[in-house]
């Protein structure tokens, strides 16, 4: 399952942060948040998604023997819920998002930047409405989704956010849906960011695993 592969590729970074709360934005079934609890990497979880699928309850039931800790499901759009969750909690937090569409991924990251909260975000469906980045990527013979990730990492670095690229195998998400995932998210790239990190923390956020 793709959430397991995502969890696996950020778990070492997460461990260094010792988050108390994990916030799974655009979480859908919420498996990613549940994995953090199951592995003892967080004690509390909040999932944010306006559409709570039936699979969330199914997963919680199936994993109930090893997933413990308070879990809340906030069914408001992230634009409303996330700033409130980040502002109202004094505990150490990590925000995660697996396959948030590019514009949502950017909003998630911007809220984390505004609240100095670490994040691990895997954007999907890259778009470049003006076409400049797409043209530059083509001219440089860089794959467009990779160029968009680099552009986002450049934007964050300019705002003093220590960020690193993590990735997991797209094959994990292909079962039964090969064509769709190849179109929207052929590579699963995760931007791991620590806003306002000092030199020590920035050094700990290794370049690539």
Question: What does the alpha-carbon distance between residue 67 and residue 30 come to, in Å, rounded to a whole number?
Answer: 12
Interface stretch with ligand SAM, choices 12-20, 22-30, 112-120, 158-166 (CB under 6 A): 22-30
d(Cα 109, Cα 119) in Å, to the nearest integer? 7
Q: Which is nearer to ligand SAM, 64 or 75 (CB)?
A: 75
- Answer whether 123's CB lies under 8 Å from 185's CB: no
The correct pick among 14, 22, 27, 188 for binding ligand SAM (CB under 6 A) is 27
Q: Can you tell me which of 10, 67, 104, 112 binds ligand SAM, judged by CB under 6 A? A: 104
Q: Are 2 and 172 in contact (CB under 8 A)?
A: yes
For the bound state, the minimum distance from the C-beta of residue 40 to ligand SAM, rounded and expressed in Å, comes to: 21
d(CA 22, CA 178): 29
If one asks whether residue 77 binds ligand SAM (CB under 6 A), the answer comes out as: yes
Binding residue for ligand SAM, selected from 26, 112, 113, 120, defined by CB under 6 A? 26
**For 116, left (φ over 0), alpha (ψ -120 to 50), or beta?**
left
161 near ligand SAM, judged by CB under 6 A: no
Task: Tell me which residues in 31-70 interact with ligand SAM (CB under 6 A).
Answer: 48-51
Q: Does 189 bind ligand SAM (CB under 6 A)?
A: no
Kindly tell me which of 29 and 197 has the beta carbon lying closer to ligand SAM: 29
**Closest distance between ligand SAM and the C-beta of residue 97, in Å?**
7
Distance linking the first and last C-alpha atoms of the chain: 20
Residues, the chain: 209
Q: Verify binding: residue 74, ligand SAM, rule CB under 6 A.
A: no
- 109 lines the binding site for ligand SAM (CB under 6 A): no
List, in order, residues 6 or more apart from 183 with CB less than 8 Å away.
none
Provide the minimum distance between the beta carbon of 208 and ligand SAM in the complex, in angstroms, as a whole number.
Answer: 22
Lookup: tokens for 85: 């969750």
Both tokens assigned to 2: 């793709």
Interacting residues with ligand SAM (CB under 6 A): 2, 26-28, 48-51, 77-79, 98-99, 104
């Amino acid at each position: 399952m793709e959430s397991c592969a995502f969890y696996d590729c950020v778990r070492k970074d997460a461990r260094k942060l010792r988050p108390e709360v994990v916030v799974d934005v655009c979480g859908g079934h919420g498996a990613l948040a549940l994995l953090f609890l199951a592995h003892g990497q967080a004690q509390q979880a909040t999932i944010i998604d306006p559409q709570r699928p039936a699979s969330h309850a199914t997963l919680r039931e199936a994993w109930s023997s090893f997933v413990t800790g308070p879990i809340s499901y906030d069914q408001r759009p992230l634009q409303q819920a996330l700033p409130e969750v980040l502002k109202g909690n004094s505990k150490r937090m990590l925000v995660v998002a697996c396959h948030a569409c590019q514009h949502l991924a950017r909003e998630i990251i911007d809220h984390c930047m505004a609240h100095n909260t670490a994040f691990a975000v895997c954007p999907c469906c890259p778009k470049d409405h003006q076409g400049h980045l797409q043209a530059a990527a083509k001219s440089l013979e860089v794959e467009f989704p990779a160029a968009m990730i680099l552009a986002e990492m450049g934007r964050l670095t300019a705002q003093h956010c220590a960020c690193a690229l993590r990735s997991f195998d797209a094959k994990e998400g292909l079962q039964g849906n090969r064509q769709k995932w190849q179109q929207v998210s052929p590579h699963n790239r995760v931007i791991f960011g620590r806003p306002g990190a000092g030199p020590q923390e920035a050094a700990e956020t290794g370049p690539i695993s």
